[in-house]
Structure 1
């Protein structure tokens, strides 16, 4: 009976661990190509606010989880092209100078004047550091891309607490003709 319990526990544990991992829709060969071209789209799956203010508020709401990661709906992206940077990401955290228009309190902007530096990180990762120059509140975006396509993004800005996102990279959408 102990063996049956042990086998069932190990099986259910391994099933739970394998279902928790996510798979990138881009294979490793395409990831290397996207990194080399320096044109890709980051698709955010989770947000990780840095301040305790957001997590304290989340814990006070009924039916919320106790973790700090917030699962995001599809559609939140950073699209990097040769001539522009388009950021569409939600923001959760403390803002020091919030806008009166609530739609301007998230990261939604297009930048045509930015600098991007690529460097090699640990364990074969590629790290892109992007600094915007044409925004009212300049932001520094650090994108760390792993060989599997998994990506970690951190955004620091002068007017708010930093925030990070987890997701993956994919090819840019083709423009409609």
Structure 2
């Protein structure tokens, strides 16, 4: 009986610690999405060309493939404000046309002409669609955001296979 009580107490503590570990509280998530002022921080990438990426990753030291690329320690992000969308994200996968500039290999752009649509879904999640009009390659970006701020970003391009990123949103730090 004592063992069951200890296990129950441990389970309650575990659940409480998971709730405390949420990236963003519900009110902040709602506020930044409605204000159209947030930063998506990418923590992992999932290319759609998994077989090609797995072949490369399995040949690297410590690589095990799996199609999930961890981006820990990086500053890859998508910044959304009312007047602009700025992307600085890596790209892994197959490109249908190569760029002449090697600096253009990732998903990097700043758009001031874009369409933004945020729809609230069941259970407090959000579906945000961003369509940049003044970028040469990125066609659409879809962001699925949970009420805790965890998010999945899907990027569709004209000249590349699609790629997804896992991460979280937060509000930008105020400039002093």
Please indicate the TM-score interval, normalised by the length of the shorter structure.
Answer: 0.7 to 0.9
Partner of 2:69: 70
Q: In the TM superposition, what whole-angstrom CA distance separates every residue of 1:81-101 from its partner, at most 9, and x where no partner exists?
A: 011101000000001112122
Distance 2:170 2:34 in 1: 13
Kept in 1: contact 2:138–2:155 (CA 8 A): no
Kept in 2: contact 1:150–1:168 (CA 8 A): yes
Q: In the TM superposition, what whole-angstrom CA distance separates every residue of 1:51-91 from its partner, at most 9, and x where no partner exists?
A: 12112211222311232211113311100001110100000
Can you give the 5+ residue segments of structure 1 that lack an aligned partner in the other structure?
1-10, 16-22
How much has 1:125 moved relative to structure 2?
1.0
Distance 2:169 2:126 in 1: 12
Q: In the TM superposition, what whole-angstrom CA distance separates every residue of 1:110-163 from its partner, at most 9, and x where no partner exists?
A: 000000111123432111111111011242000111011101100000100000
Distance 2:130 2:86 in 1: 12
Partner of 2:173: 173
SS in 2 for 1:123: helix
SS in 1 for 2:45: strand
| Alignment of structure 1 residues 73-152 onto 2, 5 Å | 73-152=73-152
Distance 1:55 1:154 in 2: 20
Can you give the 5+ residue segments of structure 2 that lack an aligned partner in the other structure?
1-9, 15-20
Calculate the aligned-residue CA RMSD, in Å.
Answer: 2.8
CA pair 98-111 structure 1, distance change in 2 beyond 3 A: same
Counterpart among 43, 59, 77 of residue 45 in structure 1: 43
How much has 1:166 moved relative to structure 2?
0.4
